[in-house]
Chains A and B, each alone.
Chain A
Amino acid sequence: MGLIKIEGKEVSLPDAIIDAGTSAIRAALSVDFPDVENADIQIVSPTRAGAPKAATVVKRGTGKGSAQREVMESLAAAPEYVNPAIAMAIECMAEETRGDQEAIMRVIRSGAMERAVAEGEREGLAVHKSQVACGHAPPIAARKVPIGF
């Protein structure tokens, strides 16, 4: 029997499974340790003859670093967007400057102004919620133990 170190415990698995590779180990452990799906498995060769085969399972970090990366990637991939209320205000201001006083009446009558303000408020609220969520950073387990602990 081989020994698997996972989450601070030692689990025995038949040598055949360890010999079959990381996929087999992952499949065997997945029932009791669902997080093993996203873990790194390192098979350790026995250092002396007759020693049991061993493998170490280390969970992949899902810490603040990766979350920050995800946020940055999402921001980079986001399309150009101007809040509809701001876009309409800019458009109406420009029309007013050009002397077209009827432009505002047209967007009021068509309902476009109400839609733009409603959509703008909805989007503003969503941005506010995102800002609050970004500022909310509860402590999470780190992958490495800091020196001194």
Chain B
Amino acid sequence: MQRQLTLDMARVYLASRARVRTPLGAGDYLDCSHHYARDIYDKRILIALACLSIYRQLFPDQYARSAAPPFSTQREQEFYRLVHTHCFPLLVDDGEDVLTWIAREPRFFLPFIPIRGLQRYDWFMDGSHVKDFEIPYQLALLLSGALPDDVHTIAGLCFPADFPEPAPPVAAVGWSLFLHACKVHEDSPLRFLPLAFHMVSHKTGNLWLDLPRHVGQAAYAWSPEEVARLTLMRVNADKFDIAVRALHNWFIEDLRARISRVIEIWNDAARKESEAGYGGMTAEDMVAVVAALPR
């Protein structure tokens, strides 16, 4: 019985015929056909076609000027370089980017988009270097109860000698009050302080920041939508970093007074929460309380 030629089959056929006419493509084909089933090679070609299609859509000028043979491994690697340079880092291993791998392994290819956490610190593993963190991070760790027990200073200032002892971590209501108190300071970088809390707890909603560095990598399929989404997230991650640095500089201008002010805001939120009888209540508990209110 004759098989129907689908679009994917036609694309794979044409691309594979073009690839095997290049030295690296021929090597790929021989390796795959020697070690794996035929469909593995077809899947490899489909990945290459997906990358080249994104290359054509996102970087049309570079694609048109490319001197690499069509459908070749070299052209795929050009695309990786462009994504790595203009969109987001393609980190294959911890500390090794795609450029290193291409230089080391000429037939290197990425079957998926590798995502590795881009936060500069590992909050769990770098605990001993907490004094090197920016002040907003140190404060966020202190107030959320995540500061190592043997650390009793923030930016060189001791507590309770230099600034008040902070209240224990607040629950849902206290956190809402604290957020509100930070956000009312619209003209000061203090409004960025909640961001430091989200960063240390990996809850920013941004994939590049929410993936802890020590947990390895996540993988996403190559598609124009994913590349665009991850690029935007990368831009936002940079903005978060700039915001925290601005806040760090703001603290340095008047260290003692400004840290004390943050502790005051925190303690005030904790006190109000306790007085209202909502101490220790989580967001889920709050939802249940509100649902049970008489209408």
A contacts, CB < 8 Å to B? 83, 85-86, 88-90, 92-93, 104-105, 108, 111, 113-114, 116-118, 120-121, 124
Contacts and interface: CB of A to CB of B under 8 A. Distances in A.
Most buried by B among A89, A104, A108: A89
Interface stretch (B8-16, B117-125, B178-186): B8-16
A88 B6 CA distance: 12
A117 B14 contact: yes
Contact of B18 (A83, A86, A113, A124): A113
B70 A114 contact: yes
Interface of B: 5-7, 9-11, 13-15, 17-18, 21, 49, 53, 56, 69-71
9 closest A-B pairs by CB: A89-B10, A86-B10, A85-B10, A124-B7, A114-B70, A89-B13, A104-B17, A108-B18, A85-B11
A120 B11 contact: yes
B5 A92 contact: no
Q: Among B18, B21, B71, find the residue whose CB has the most chain A CB atoms closer than 10 A.
A: B18
B15 A117 contact: yes
A118 B15 CA distance: 11
A68 B30 CA distance: 51
A39 B21 CA distance: 64
Contact of B7 (A108, A111, A120): A120
A118 B14 contact: no
Contacts of B6: 86
B59 to A, nearest CB: 14
Given A104-B17, A113-B18, A117-B14, 13 more contacts: A83-B10, A85-B10, A86-B6, A86-B7, A86-B10, A89-B5, A93-B13, A104-B18, A104-B21, A108-B70, A111-B70, A114-B71, A118-B56
A116 B10 CA distance: 10
16 contacts: A83-B7, A86-B7, A86-B10, A88-B10, A89-B13, A89-B14, A92-B13, A108-B21, A113-B14, A113-B18, A113-B70, A117-B11, A117-B14, A121-B49, A121-B53, A124-B7
A85 B14 contact: yes
Interface centre among B7, B14, B53 (most CB of A within 10 A): B14
Nearest to A121: B53
A107 B11 CA distance: 14
Contacts of B21: 104-105, 108
Nearest to A114: B70
A93 to B, nearest CB: 7
Residue picked from B7, B15, B21, B49, most chain A C-beta under 10 Å: B7
Nearest to A124: B7
Contacts of A89: 5, 9-11, 13-14
A88 B12 CA distance: 12
Nearest to B6: A86
Contacts of A114: 70-71
Contacts of A90: 5, 10
Contacts of B69: 108
A78 to B, nearest CB: 18
A51 to B, nearest CB: 52
Contacts of B49: 117, 121
Contacts of A117: 11, 14-15, 49, 71
A93 B70 CA distance: 19
A88 B53 contact: no
Nearest to A113: B14
B14 A88 contact: yes
A69 B167 CA distance: 70
Contacts of A104: 17-18, 21
A85 to B, nearest CB: 5
